[in-house]
Structure 1
Amino acid sequence: MLASLPALIRVPLVVLLLALNVLLHVLPLFALTLLKLLMPVAGFRRACSRVLVAIAESWIAGNNALFALFTRIHWQVDGLDGLRRDANYLVLANHQSWVDIPVLQKLLNRRIPFLRFFLKSQLIWVPLMGPAWWALDFPFMKRYSRETLARRPELAGRDMEATRRACAKFRQLPVSVMNFVEGTRFTPAKHDAQGSPYRHLLKPRAGGVAFVLDAMGEGLDAILEVAIVYPDGPCSILDLIAGRLREVRVSLLQRAITPELRGDYERDEAFRLRFQAWVNELWQEQDARLTRLLDA
């Protein structure tokens, strides 16, 4: 019924309710984060972290409920069976739109440990959301251009060090580490500029995946590959809120983490070449899965 409301009423109402959901959860989240900072007792901090995650999962559940009420999205999903909340995952997905994030949250919230993304450092300044991501231990990465690195070579490797610090923290709590392997959202222009050999994907960035696998060690139980397509074409968050997104197709596949996937990507050239070949093969399989989803 609510999905049938005129857009002039539905869109402002959805935005208002999403904002209220943010406030409802962010305020207690900030209060508990402050308490956690003021009480440097390891056991207390771990308990606070669990409650913070519960608040975040409630926040996501609220968003999911609002989108279910106000939109008419047809979902075609396979591969959810066998997911566990007590297993730690490295989640790898293609990236086309900011809508990918609410899609992943809808499908995986409370099915696996709380998803944490590697975020651009600038996003910490997003009102309310940036500090909330920081409170929830989302790692913020500062990327440097080739020109900057040429002027200041001492900045090289800073992202990898941030990855190591984040993974060391992740090993102390149930976690799902999210990685968009392409490193940026897919567009036809980027695809053509790269000369990507894949039909639906940009070239994968193997380094980030390798560093997480190595830094987490035995702390990860499996890789969860997620293929997402929007049959009606590219979409935005506004399309989602406005009810213009009609169909989402998703395929999930679990993959075992073998010892061969862990090694020193930075200094071991033989391992780096093997790992890059493995990621390229994985991405070729992902490209074929996207084709099958679009043709379904």
Structure 2
Amino acid sequence: MSRLLAAITLLLSIILTILVTIACSVPIIVAGIIKLLLPVPVVWRAVSAFCNFMMYCWCEGLALLLRLNPHLKWDIEGLEGLNKKNWYLLLCNHHSWADIVVLCVLFRKHIPMNKYFLKQQLAWVPFIGLACWALDMPFMKRYSRSYLIRHPDRRGRDVETTRRSCEKFRAHPTTIVNFVEGSRFTELKRQQTRSPYKNLLPPKAAGIAMALNVLGAQFDKLLNVTLCYPENDGTPFYDMLSGKLTRIVVRVNLVPVDEELHGDYINDKNFKRRFQLWLNTLWNDKDVLINDIKSANKNAGQ
């Protein structure tokens, strides 16, 4: 693709994405205000259903934009057996802003609308922040270790946010999405966190442990999702917008939610160690899988 064509595609993609986002987020925001002004369960349920429908329309708009790229190929495994009437906890590695687009587009017809755990800063993004608020998505405020040492009263705030948000999801089937690394992967962050993984940052266990503890048996399955952009590993989101993204690899693994995953992560130290070991094992397998995908792609290109 020529630089001129890529630049034109990038500009059109940005404009169309903004228009689709505004067209879908404004009705969601208005509905959210109605829900705030009329705190009645019947109104809440109707508004939530409408907001989820508008989010589905947003996902369809993104899917249409991706179809404008004739070079893009999807390599998907593991969508069998999913149901929009179930509750899911979706764990995924986080490599790029493209991840959110991929998850929305891929799962829009297979599972309930995704609810993301978002960074606090996104609350101030025009249209998107208020729309996510209306959709009951939790905003998480991350604190550094040094800050928590100076302000111990802030410890556990994200866990409490998780608990309150999960209580809202009891009423209707929901997919809770958690990028458990807490941040997008970069080589610099991998070194700073002393990650034992080649392609991943260390996972944070507290949020998903709380979600499993609050919703308990309502989760039908845990979706372990692995994303990889083997031919556009450097700048997948930019390449997606400029029409240069060529291959998206997604592997979905359904993991049973066993009783051993339910427990008091905050106060039970034995459970905390077991849960961290389980999550770290899951993450190690994911790291190996990403290595295998990249190696296979490299060998195919030779």
Please, what TM-score do these two structures have when normalized by structure 1?
Answer: 0.94
Is 1:30 matched up with 2:65? Answer: no
Is 1:65 matched up with 2:50? Answer: no
| Identical residues among aligned pairs (%) | 41
Residue 36 of structure 1: CA displacement?
2.1
Partner of residue 177, structure 2: 178
Q: Give the 3 Å change call, closer, same or farther, for CA 150–266 of structure 1 in structure 2.
A: same
Tell me the amino acid that sits aligned with residue 283 of structure 1.
W
Is 1:56 matched up with 2:55? Answer: yes
Partner of residue 279, structure 1: 279
Deviation readout 1:118-146 (Å, 9 max, x if unpaired): 11112100011111110111101112223
Is 1:19 matched up with 2:42? Answer: no
Residue 10 of structure 1: CA displacement?
2.5
Partner of residue 262, structure 1: 262
State how far apart, in whole Å, the 1-side matches of 2:257 and 2:18 are. 39
Partner of residue 119, structure 2: 120
Residue 259 of structure 1: CA displacement?
0.4
Residue 71 of structure 1: CA displacement?
5.1
For the 8 Å contact 2:77–2:252, the answer to whether it is kept is yes
Tell me the amino acid that sits aligned with residue 159 of structure 1.
D
Q: How do 1:191-230 residues align onto structure 2 when only pairs under 5 Å count?
A: 191-230=190-229
* Aligned Cα root-mean-square deviation (Å): 1.8
Tell me the amino acid that sits aligned with residue 229 of structure 1.
C
Q: Secondary structure at the match of 2:203?
A: coil
Q: Secondary structure at the match of 1:89?
A: strand
State how far apart, in whole Å, the 2-side matches of 1:16 and 1:97 are. 20
Residue 252 of structure 1: CA displacement?
0.5
Q: Secondary structure at the match of 1:6?
A: helix
Q: Give the 3 Å change call, closer, same or farther, for CA 208–31 of structure 1 in structure 2.
A: closer
For the 8 Å contact 1:99–1:235, the answer to whether it is kept is no
Q: Secondary structure at the match of 1:172?
A: coil
Deviation readout 1:134-170 (Å, 9 max, x if unpaired): 0111101112223332232211111111111011111
Residue 32 of structure 1: CA displacement?
1.9
Q: Secondary structure at the match of 2:68?
A: helix
Q: Secondary structure at the match of 2:235?
A: coil
For the 8 Å contact 2:89–2:222, the answer to whether it is kept is yes
Tell me the amino acid that sits aligned with residue 147 of structure 2.
T
Q: Secondary structure at the match of 1:138?
A: coil
Partner of residue 73, structure 2: 74
Residue 220 of structure 1: CA displacement?
0.9
Q: Secondary structure at the match of 1:46?
A: helix
For the 8 Å contact 1:14–1:70, the answer to whether it is kept is no
Q: Secondary structure at the match of 1:131?
A: helix
Residue 195 of structure 1: CA displacement?
3.0
The range that moved more, 273-282 or 140-149, is 140-149
State how far apart, in whole Å, the 1-side matches of 2:295 and 2:142 are. 37
For the 8 Å contact 1:64–1:106, the answer to whether it is kept is yes
Q: Secondary structure at the match of 1:228?
A: strand
Task: Provide runs of 4+ in structure 1 moved above 6 Å.
Answer: none
Residue 236 of structure 1: CA displacement?
4.1
For the 8 Å contact 2:158–2:207, the answer to whether it is kept is no
Residue 288 of structure 1: CA displacement?
1.9
Deviation readout 1:45-75 (Å, 9 max, x if unpaired): 1111011100111111111111211452111
Tell me the amino acid that sits aligned with residue 15 of structure 1.
I
Deviation readout 1:76-102 (Å, 9 max, x if unpaired): 111111111011111011111111111
Partner of residue 99, structure 1: 98
Partner of residue 156, structure 2: 157
State how far apart, in whole Å, the 1-side matches of 2:118 and 2:51 are. 19
State how far apart, in whole Å, the 2-side matches of 1:235 and 1:220 are. 34
State how far apart, in whole Å, the 2-side matches of 1:177 and 1:91 are. 6
Tell me the amino acid that sits aligned with residue 80 of structure 1.
L
State how far apart, in whole Å, the 1-side matches of 2:194 and 2:33 are. 48
State how far apart, in whole Å, the 2-side matches of 1:97 and 1:267 are. 34
Residue 231 of structure 1: CA displacement?
0.9
Q: Secondary structure at the match of 1:221?
A: strand
State how far apart, in whole Å, the 1-side matches of 2:197 and 2:16 are. 40
Residue 13 of structure 1: CA displacement?
2.0
Q: Secondary structure at the match of 1:143?
A: coil
Partner of residue 289, structure 1: 289
Q: How many residues align?
A: 294
State how far apart, in whole Å, the 2-side matches of 1:41 and 1:105 are. 29
Please, what TM-score do these two structures have when normalized by structure 2?
Answer: 0.92
